[in-house]
Structure 1
């Protein structure tokens, strides 16, 4: 067994073990169920590797399935052996089969029906109305066949059928029912239906419920008990006399207590022996049984009167009225259910243009209750607006979430090359579905399957027109917009791989050759980089040679620009020739690649042309703020290394943005950074002192190649314990 296979097998076994632990020990039942599903998938991975039905690391990892079939993929890029578009018939397929009088367990019969005249008419109707949904790319195949036949391209349709026909009984090639297409420039993070479900599933706060029970049930009962004992007081002494009917009334109180205790179980204060209400109750039980009361009875009665006044007095009544009014206010849980009810009558598969009406205050008589911020934030997720608006409002909180929403915007841009409106809409839907295809673990520098390799996409390629100037400009403008949103909205955050894929697609559409590079996983890295990493490093060298950035990180960009090959070796040399395979060793090499390439920052600046409205110095300040926030989380963190790595990413972006500033701005920003550190109350942030000292040293003309604990080059990965955690 070669080293790569050993590493893959060890990784898969480790993931299976983690899933077992979660399935057995996690307190949340839903999390346990998800872990059980992961167990089954990892068992499929391991058994497939053992019996040879899976070839992990290949573009065709599942024996018998071509590369264009979307595989089910688990963490790390491992295929399970199942096809994402496979499995038993879905509910809509079974319903359609029954309506057509077909076997509702036989996908092949549905496939064959849609090649008849009646079936093609159904497909043409869906094409023209746009009322379909494509979840897996395969679900567009028969729609493409129908379009090709209508366009007179019989050969193209036959090519598609020849490719997909052998899998007609195994994979779904039909679209799902869907709604008519909407404005592609507007997106929403969640549909109304998804938000409604989240609101309905919102649990009540047990502490609030316990407090409300205490205020509405047990406080009034305690007042009754106290009033009952006060009937026996003479000259300040409890049980000085027992008035007529007192015992009978006491028996009724105890009977009611039993009923209340069975019905209201959240608040346990009345059961605690040393609590006043418990002392009054148990003393009453004892006296009615002919035994002496608790020795603490007198003290409890005196204390309750002294603290709140005598029940029925103005002072006591005012206190209880205030408490009752507070308890009567709707809880966050109740308000969430009220908002969910407001959303129930809306279409559940789309967003809303405004959420104001749904988060308006709840009015009950004269009581007006504002919707809490936690509920408002959930509702805002179904706001349908431009991505820029959603970023500004905080609905999109991270670059990762932005990357999830961007494909809808990019899809319409990349599909403009199809002149037929029906085909344009279909190809946009295929693009969105293809972007949900999870990446495979690939070895030997193989590349992921491209959308153009799908047989039905390849077949309509001849029906595309060459990009005209307007389409190219539109793609470039979209690319600049998304680049600015990513940098301005989330400075200090690494560009996530899904966003890199969108940048790459738009650059191709804009006819720009830009080497965007992905973030590589250290736990499955095999030590080599594709040629585009060197291209990206050389692009960065054109921008940053002899800048603050290359001086801080000790880069000889002149040598990088002369390099014809050997990028892997250069990265290892910069780690002081770290040897052997380990996650940490891999991480140090990958980090050097990110430093040399700037991980797409240089590409966004030139040739893309991103120019932030608040200036590079503004982005440098904000990225430094992210760095400080992350460093504050290091102290007391049981697993601090991930936080340290994220802080190092943020710091690298800080240095990059600063390198694009003029010298005067650089000195001003560095002085501001020092002031910010001096104002920080958290001592953890002072760990950035040597980092900032190193930057000042480089700005003054020095270098950081000589070890000096007072002046540091901030890197995230290390083989031993990181200096920032000590």
Structure 2
């Protein structure tokens, strides 16, 4: 495709999503799922109709006519704008409350005019000072910003902002939602809010006892009955085993046990194990029915098979639990009885939800020890739960997701299990860096709220190298920037946070690509940090992972800048040798900045072997861009980021990620996706290893080669390890795979060699 030919999005994907949501809305068993599908279907219907009519320009950063780029669009999955503004729609509850309290017309134009009166400005000022508000959309901070500017005497900025807001006063919500004040310790974050946790606890409580109650029934009802049944058969034991003789009255007592069973089975229906024919209790019951006989006189004779099953069951049960009445058996049943007395999950979920009700819904849990302490005497009375009962692990995990703590503590606690979850917490930290120089608490809160609300703005599908709207393009953010305090303080805070985040990523998630939301935050921090004098000058071009299905064959200029910076980091290293990188050629791109983007794209295309235009072919080109830029690893290393336990340990963990992903290949449907992600983890391991001295490189390589793993994993990794060993030894591999060189890459225009049953043939070729 000609680079100048604009790419357009077709209607096939939105139409397919619409049909899928309509089918779910019509047929799913869960009413909540049907309702959610109906809402999504309405959005997709607007997308399809807007594209058909030509009203929507999908792929543009301003897809809706009449709405400037700063207006937050409603975005469906995949970045498709629906044609609606996210801050538009029916009046929100807090707006309706203001309408009723002040006797206003029920429309936004009247609310907007009211907020510009003395009374309205006073109301906004109270919210601003107290911090009792939340921004669901970035636009909701606009009028708070007007108040802040007027207080600062910056009337010109306030008037400029109002001039941009006025045309949309009747459409968009420019006022915040009242919410509890949220003040966190400096540097602390939380994953879930108290409101999120209480909602999940309420769902557990509403489901009732379920499986735990079935377990309690088994412990309290069926285990004691099984003991009586076993004791009854043990009365017949002789030298040959049970049913050697039947004492006087045995048949009558047996008939009583059978009657008791029928009564218990009718009354206690949660546990069904006793009904399974192969279970020991069922075997003992069946044998007892035959032995008692239809007349209850005990004359029934057990056949050889029935007697064999009976004796095997008695032997197995007594060997496992002991004879009823023995010391071991009494201890076992006492422990089970204590367990049966414990409160069920639904009861404890309701109890925990009540404990958390005193905390602000929009904040986290500052004292998890208190929230998760054993049941108190008062709670035992109120919730009919045993005093001293501990909170079970599944419910603890829900509450711990709301713990307020420094990021590193949350990672160590297991609350942040992935780089994607980490990315969701970064906006709060970046907001704190943005406000580092603001002395006024109200302004700092407002700027932080702006930042976090903008971070929740969903990205648009953009074509033709379009760029997402940046936070500074929002008029209220732009006008308030002059009141952010010392630029140097903000720059140094941003720089420090980049390093801190890099430390966390390299330490805990070394085998994962930097997720795009995290790349976005890192890029914003890097822009804030620009202007620091050497040696603090950052100039870190962080780059996103591109989608191969909409790739045009061109890269934005920052990819070439990132590759040039990376070349200085990897020149002469194991990484450059393994991937055949000509660092001098990358540096030469700098001589012609006007062709930086296209020149870089041509280099990636060449290294990929000029593949055909297809999703897979595009993927091979994008992967070469990731190799040449190191996909942000070099930028993090230049920022001073380091794994806490060293580069070699991080390289080992990245390699283990690749091994784990390849280990799943026989059991997964999308095997190629696992291969792709394993190759990305492998590349990260190679970069991390390249930061180590040669001695450590050899040690880690020997560890990789001797690592215990399934045979199919060892076979698949063997070719990659052969050429990694060559690179460690100082050999330079060619830029492209060739006869005798099988480099581990994720994308392939044809069948990937990793999917071959016997890939060992690939590394039996001639050596370098």
- Is the pair's TM-score, using the shorter chain for normalization, greater than 0.5? yes
1-structure distance, mates of 2:697, 2:317: 64
Kindly report which structure 2 residues correspond to 1:195-234, keeping only aligned pairs within 5 A, or say none: 195-202=197-204, 209-221=213-225
Superposed CA RMSD in Å reads 3.8
1-structure distance, mates of 2:10, 2:645: 46
Q: 1:306 to 1:477 in 2, by over 3 A?
A: closer
Q: Relative to structure 2, which stretch is displaced further, 643-652 or 417-426?
A: 417-426
Given that 1:548 and 1:699 are in contact with CA atoms closer than 8 Å, whether structure 2 keeps it comes out as: yes
Aligned-pair distance for 1:426?
Answer: 1.2
Kindly report which structure 2 residues correspond to 1:347-362, keeping only aligned pairs within 5 A, or say none: 347-361=360-374
2-structure distance, mates of 1:552, 1:414: 40
Equivalent position of 1:401 in the other structure: 421
Aligned-pair distance for 1:721?
Answer: 2.7
* Equivalent of residue 279 in structure 1, options 269, 274, 286: 286
Deviations 1:188-213 (A, max 9, x none): 11123322332343468966544443
Equivalent position of 1:541 in the other structure: 567
Aligned-pair distance for 1:518?
Answer: 1.0
Kindly report which structure 2 residues correspond to 1:318-467, keeping only aligned pairs within 5 A, or say none: 320-321=333-334, 323-330=336-343, 336-361=349-374, 370-416=390-436, 420-464=440-484, 467=487
Three-state SS of the structure 2 residue aligned to 1:73 is strand
Q: 1:231 to 1:117 in 2, by over 3 A?
A: same
1-structure distance, mates of 2:263, 2:214: 20
**Structure 1 runs not aligned, ≥5 long:** none
* Equivalent of residue 619 in structure 2, options 587, 600, 609: 587
Aligned-pair distance for 1:38?
Answer: 2.8
1-structure distance, mates of 2:350, 2:649: 42
Equivalent position of 1:689 in the other structure: 718
Equivalent position of 1:598 in the other structure: 630
Aligned-pair distance for 1:597?
Answer: 0.7
Equivalent position of 1:142 in the other structure: 143
Q: Relative to structure 2, which stretch is displaced further, 184-193 or 412-421?
A: 412-421
2-structure distance, mates of 1:546, 1:92: 61
Equivalent position of 2:125 in the other structure: 124
1:615 matched to 2:617? The reply is: no
1-structure distance, mates of 2:289, 2:158: 86
| TM-score under structure 2 length normalisation | 0.83
Q: Relative to structure 2, which stretch is displaced further, 436-445 or 297-306?
A: 297-306
Q: 1:661 to 1:280 in 2, by over 3 A?
A: closer
Equivalent position of 2:677 in the other structure: 646
Q: 1:237 to 1:289 in 2, by over 3 A?
A: closer
Equivalent position of 1:529 in the other structure: 555
Aligned-pair distance for 1:56?
Answer: 0.2
Q: 1:46 to 1:5 in 2, by over 3 A?
A: farther
Deviations 1:573-624 (A, max 9, x none): 11110122x3212211111111111111111222x23244433233222222
2-structure distance, mates of 1:549, 1:414: 35
Given that 1:272 and 1:278 are in contact with CA atoms closer than 8 Å, whether structure 2 keeps it comes out as: no
Equivalent position of 2:533 in the other structure: none
2-structure distance, mates of 1:720, 1:181: 54
1:174 matched to 2:175? The reply is: yes
Given that 2:516 and 2:544 are in contact with CA atoms closer than 8 Å, whether structure 1 keeps it comes out as: yes
Aligned-pair distance for 1:119?
Answer: 0.6
Aligned-pair distance for 1:162?
Answer: 2.5
1:576 matched to 2:609? The reply is: yes
Q: 1:282 to 1:158 in 2, by over 3 A?
A: farther
| TM-score under structure 1 length normalisation | 0.87
Q: 1:342 to 1:147 in 2, by over 3 A?
A: closer
2-structure distance, mates of 1:290, 1:43: 75
1:477 matched to 2:496? The reply is: yes
Q: 1:550 to 1:322 in 2, by over 3 A?
A: closer
Given that 1:270 and 1:277 are in contact with CA atoms closer than 8 Å, whether structure 2 keeps it comes out as: no
Deviations 1:132-177 (A, max 9, x none): 1112100001111222233333333332222222322221110011
Q: Relative to structure 2, which stretch is displaced further, 636-645 or 230-239?
A: 230-239
* Equivalent of residue 717 in structure 1, options 747, 750, 756: 747
Aligned-pair distance for 1:716?
Answer: 0.5
2-structure distance, mates of 1:306, 1:617: 55
1-structure distance, mates of 2:90, 2:507: 45
Aligned-pair distance for 1:693?
Answer: 1.0
Aligned-pair distance for 1:462?
Answer: 4.4
**Structure 2 runs not aligned, ≥5 long:** 531-537, 757-768
Equivalent position of 1:503 in the other structure: 522
Q: 1:86 to 1:280 in 2, by over 3 A?
A: farther
Q: 1:349 to 1:289 in 2, by over 3 A?
A: same
Equivalent position of 2:263 in the other structure: 256
2-structure distance, mates of 1:184, 1:320: 51
Equivalent position of 1:555 in the other structure: 581
2-structure distance, mates of 1:311, 1:442: 73
What number of residue pairs does the alignment pair up? 716
Aligned-pair distance for 1:448?
Answer: 1.2
1:164 matched to 2:157? The reply is: no
2-structure distance, mates of 1:87, 1:284: 75
Q: 1:245 to 1:418 in 2, by over 3 A?
A: closer
Given that 1:226 and 1:280 are in contact with CA atoms closer than 8 Å, whether structure 2 keeps it comes out as: no
2-structure distance, mates of 1:10, 1:543: 43
1:186 matched to 2:191? The reply is: no
Given that 1:527 and 1:586 are in contact with CA atoms closer than 8 Å, whether structure 2 keeps it comes out as: yes
Aligned-pair distance for 1:117?
Answer: 0.8
Equivalent position of 2:509 in the other structure: 490
Three-state SS of the structure 2 residue aligned to 1:348 is coil
